[in-house]
A and B are shown apart, each in its own frame.
Chain A
Amino acid sequence: MTTTLERIKKLFLENFDFPEERLRPEATIESIGLDSLDKIEFLFALEKEFDIKIPDREVKLDSIQDIIDVVERLVMEQHAEQRQSV
């Protein structure tokens, strides 16, 4: 099964133009070179890829690892809700 990191990497490579080796879990968003507008754009792509809604302004997303944690948590929470409501 594809890991969350792999899916996030794939999204990064689809959306931005920089080398894959920079995308390590500990890398910070800043060090990768995303500005504030890029970051918003990337969150939008994450929402689509994982079918989740990332709450505005509430989550800490400083590094790739933060993104993985948040995405995994939201997928659990939001997809569990969906299963219950069905």
Chain B
Amino acid sequence: MTRVVITGMGIISPVGNSCEEFFDNLAAGRSGIKKMSWDFADRLSVKISAEVDFDVEAYFSKKTARTLDRVSQFAMVAASQAWQDAAIQLPEKEQKRAGVYLGTGMGGARTLEESYVQLLKQNVKRLHPLTVVMVMNNAAASYISMTHRLKGPCLTYSTACSSSAVAIGEAFRQIKHGYADVMLAGGTESLLTFGIFMSWESIGTLALEAEDPSTSCRPFSKDRSGFVLGEGSAILVLESLDRAKKRGARIYGEVIGYGSTADADHITKPSVEGQADAMRAALEEARISPDDIDYINAHGTATVANDAVETKAIKEVFGQRACHIPVSSTKSMHGHLLGAAGAVELVAAVLALNKRIVPPTANLMVPDPECDLDYVPGKARTGLDLKVVMSNSFAFGGTNAVLIVRKHE
């Protein structure tokens, strides 16, 4: 088995468009959740979101920008950041041993929604000729493979909110089992559109707007009311340990475990068993015991159901130790990035490992007897000796994905 390490990371997020800025904001407890500015807000009852501040022209020529849905723009920029961060060179003979796995919930749904408006409201005679390639779920991964000449496997996973955790886990195994030496892996999402907000509003999982909008998402707090929709992308460079060592690459950590399970029970209701089994499977692959985990970046959506179920699942897996592991939900600050959430949160966990800082769960002010772990409320914890971190991602549809990363020493 080949050992797999993380040698580069890139991020576009509601709390920053670089890893430094992203983590500094999380550690300071600063939220990217704001009141929305779009006209359609008038027709929504929840008028908050976690939007990315993104200057398209800084990254793309006008022609290129017009031919890419925002979801692909995010991913291409995050991928380039990660590639540069890894300072990696890929000679032609290695291109077939390099690939890209991305996760996205709904890909270019923004373009699709805009197209329907043109078609049904404006009665246009023709849709833009690139509509198909802008909407398709695999566009982002394909553009990344073209940019960085990655000629090995190029796949897109769509398992709702665990999409990018699945993509990273599967990419890890491509290298581990010898099918590739380098993989770009992560996720991207950009669904802050009228139709999508209306859909989420109807299913009833969005946070109510707080007096201070930035505090609306309150994971594990008794007064939690749901999540805030966010957008963005995070992408990591995974590389075989041998290759990374040979070229003297900086190593953020070693991916050692991935657990993937299906609840096989209910389309939206989370399952203690499904979540716990995913954590156990990841621990088993990592060949470590529950005692070895030093931090958990929770799925922590701040829905009433998720946070109670995830707490139970953690207690089932970790037993007595559960109360002694810092567990935080950074969704309280960056919002829920859906298909990109797993990747964004893994970046948060890996940076926690490297900077020895556990980011807090913001806005946890009212304890809930059903959520009785150490959620690092309000304030980051610094100077911790972290060796192994876990990142949880669960999803509508019931696909659970858990990733474990160990410090490389």
A residues at B contact (CB < 8 Å): 14-17, 37, 40-41, 43-44, 47, 53
| Binary contact track B282-323/A, C-beta < 8 Å → 1, others 0 | 000000000000000000000000000000000000000000
Give the distance to chain B from A82, nearest Cβ to Cβ, in Å.
Answer: 13
Complex CA gap A38/B126 in Å reads 16
A12 to B126, CA, bound (A): 19
17 examples of A-B residue contacts, CB within 8 angstroms: A14-B62, A15-B63, A15-B66, A16-B63, A17-B61, A17-B62, A17-B63, A37-B130, A40-B129, A41-B128, A41-B129, A41-B130, A43-B129, A44-B126, A44-B129, A47-B125, A47-B126
Q: Which residues of A contact B67 (CB under 8 A)?
A: 41
B262 to chain A, nearest CB (A): 39
Question: For this complex, into which size category does the number of interface residues on chain B fall?
Answer: 10 to 19
Q: Which residues of B contact A41 (CB under 8 A)?
A: 67, 128-130
Instruction: Report how far A53 CA is from B128 CA in the complex, Å.
Output: 14
Residue of B whose beta carbon sits closest to that of A44: B129
Provide the residues of chain A in CB contact with B126, threshold 8 Å: 44, 47
- Contacting A at CB under 8 A, from B376-407, are none
CB distance from B255 to the nearest CB of A (A): 37
Q: B residues within 8 Å of A by Cβ? A: 61-63, 66-67, 125-126, 128-130
Residues of chain A within 8 A (CB-CB) of B62 are: 14, 17
Which residues does chain B contribute within 8 Å of A44, judged by CB atoms? Answer: 126, 128-129
Minimum CB–CB distance from A37 to chain B (whole Å) comes to 7
Tell me, in angstroms, the Cα distance from A54 to B161 when the chains sit together. Answer: 43
Q: What's the nearest-Cβ distance from chain B to residue A13, in Å?
A: 10
B129 and A37 contacting across the interface, CB-CB below 8 Å: yes
Looking at the assembled complex, report how far the CB atom of B38 sits from the nearest CB atom of chain A, in whole angstroms: 24
Bound together, the chains give a CA A62 to CA B129 distance in angstroms of 19
Given the complex of chains A and B, what is the CA–CA distance between A40 and B132 in angstroms?
Answer: 13
**Contact among A15, A17, A43, A53 with B125 in the assembled complex (CB-CB below 8 Å):** A53
Q: How far is the CB of B386 from chain A (nearest CB, A)?
A: 47
A77 CA to B128 CA, complexed, in Å:
24
Q: How far apart are the CA atoms of A40 and B67 in the complex, in Å?
A: 13
CA separation between A37 and B63, bound complex, in Å? 13
The residue of chain B having its C-beta at the shortest distance from the C-beta of A51 within the complex is B125
Cβ contacts under 8 Å, B63 to chain A:
15-17
User: 3 nearest interchain CB pairs?
Assistant: A40-B129, A17-B61, A44-B129
What is the CB-to-nearest-CB distance from B133 to chain A, in angstroms, rounded to a whole number?
8
> Shortest CB–CB separation between residue B67 and chain A, in angstroms?
8
